[in-house]
Structure 1
């Protein structure tokens, strides 16, 4: 019997998931590759892979991973390997990193002493840490 986590996805995970999916979709379209998503929605229950898709007759199963290890995402390498093996597919990890992409000027805000404090809003987004497709074969 295999233990499978069953928890609700966090906001950080959903943001990472959307960025990863958009990246893969953009790369595949740019290359003119015909593909079909198998799983392209955030998991709300047990999670073996985060994303999966088919290219021709090959299935790819992807698990997202925060390279800075600030966020733990559902699933395990063992579960990913198991589903890929069951479908004779490819188990891949997509290392992701949350990066600062810019700053916006915030509005002055009064602090407890009544004078204005300038608050800067930092824009952050998730990006693949590996080149190209961003996928790395699970070892």
Structure 2
């Protein structure tokens, strides 16, 4: 467990970020269907992210003129891309003198590799290869499931993040009418329930400066291809982009 920078987007950068997201969405007929991050709330490792086929893309938006800076850092972007087995990308944007609109600097998708700064075509990187989901991806999906559950219960979300090394994963306004937090853990078949982390008391103590009310959420996942024909059968890998069954019974 460690502290995460909670810097928010400035209003100027928010306009740039919105233009970047709309630009990316226009690159696919019908829009990008698998956004991983498309909200402007902290904490930030990337500014935007999405899955296309069997590939993950993590985007940091930059003003090429250096007049405004977005939250987060390249270090965080690289850590995320490495942990999730995805691509760390930069989307250079520029504010037009006439009209003040934000536009990508490069043609096409407009994104470049964050390390080499060479253009990237996401479609060209998609293959038929089956890629097993990383622990980072599974945790991020688990957080999304719990977050969506809280939203359906009409709770107000304060913040959330999918880094498995950071606890808690979610803050929201709960039944107490004040801040409450959720620690999320995910497991794969044959396990069907995750356990609270051993450092639960440490997490609770760290969160107590804001709220003493904490919850735990277990999310279990199994491939839809799992035959369930015997007790000792091997687990079918959870392939990126393939269907799965999820067991989640609510926050504890």
Q: TM-score range by the shorter chain?
A: 0.7 to 0.9
Q: 1:38 aligns with which of 19, 36, 46?
A: 36
Aligned-residue CA RMSD (Å): 1.9
> Per-residue displacement from partner, 1:6-31 (whole Å, max 9, x unpaired)?
222111111011100110101122xx
For residue 22 of structure 1, what is the aligned residue in structure 2? Answer: 22
Give the TM-score taking structure 2 as reference length: 0.43
Runs (5+) with no aligned partner, structure 1: 102-122
Give the TM-score taking structure 1 as reference length: 0.76
State the alpha-carbon separation in 1 of the partners of residues 23 and 59 from structure 2: 13
Relative contact order higher in (CA < 8 Å, ≥ 6 apart): 1
Q: How does 1:1-139 map to 2 (within 5 A)?
A: 4-29=4-29, 35-42=33-40, 44-101=41-98, 123-139=99-115
**Higher share of residues assigned strand:** 1
Residue 5 (structure 1) shift? 2.9
Runs (5+) with no aligned partner, structure 2: 116-252
- The aligned length equals 115
